[in-house]
Copies of this chain bind each other. A is one copy, B any other.
Amino acid sequence: MKLTEAKQQFISSWGAFGTHWGINRTMAQIHALLLVSPDPITQEDVMEQLDVSRGNVNMNIRELISWGLVDRVILPGERKEYFSAEKDIWKVATQIVKERKKRELDPMLKLLGQLENIEGDKKDKDVKQFIATVSGIRKFGNQADQMLDKMIKADESWFLGNLLRLFK
């Protein structure tokens, strides 16, 4: 397989993979393209290589920037903006974890905490099950939350070292 074909495969699979995880296909593909581009590229480049419109590229690059995965780069003496992706996969992963935690997990845990305090007969079967389920999810979620916090702060070698210890 040659580079061009492999690149295509990678971008397309990364896009499909993304959709399974609630990430818009084009955004994932742009990210993939940037991940395999050794140098920063322009919106125009992305439009050509992925065959999507200017507006779409603009929107999705902005989103990638808000996720902290892509940076604007101004090349000296150039008028237009270039973009480049963080290439260190550990950093990419922790950044995604950090954002998803902030945007989704933390609000969910907050809600679950509130839902645990319902009025009503604690002997009632439905009340009992509701509280048990909600508190079960909350406890598990809190564990995950703590673990992810440590991961975000850790560097890769620390994490791998500990994993090794954990699973030896």
A residues apposed to B, CB below 8 Å: 1-3, 6-7, 9-10, 13, 17, 19-22, 35-39, 87-90, 93, 103-104, 108, 111, 114-115, 117-120, 124-130, 132-134, 136-137, 139-140, 143, 146-147, 150, 160, 162-163, 165-167
Apart from A1-B114, A37-B126, A147-B167, 14 more pairs, CB < 8 Å: A1-B115, A1-B118, A1-B119, A3-B130, A13-B111, A20-B22, A35-B133, A37-B129, A38-B128, A87-B132, A87-B133, A89-B140, A90-B140, A150-B166
State how many copies of this chain the complex holds: 2
Note all chain B residues with C-beta closer than 8 A to A10: 115, 130, 134
Q: How far is the CA of A129 from the CA of B130 in the complex (A)?
A: 51
Cβ-defined contact, A118 with B6, below 8 A = yes
Task: Assess the B13–A108 pair: CB atoms within 8 A.
Answer: yes
- Some 20 contacts from A to B, beta carbons below 8 A apart, are A1-B119, A2-B120, A3-B124, A3-B130, A6-B115, A10-B115, A17-B108, A19-B22, A20-B103, A21-B22, A36-B134, A38-B128, A87-B132, A87-B133, A89-B133, A89-B139, A93-B140, A143-B160, A146-B167, A147-B167
A113 to B37, CA, bound (A): 19
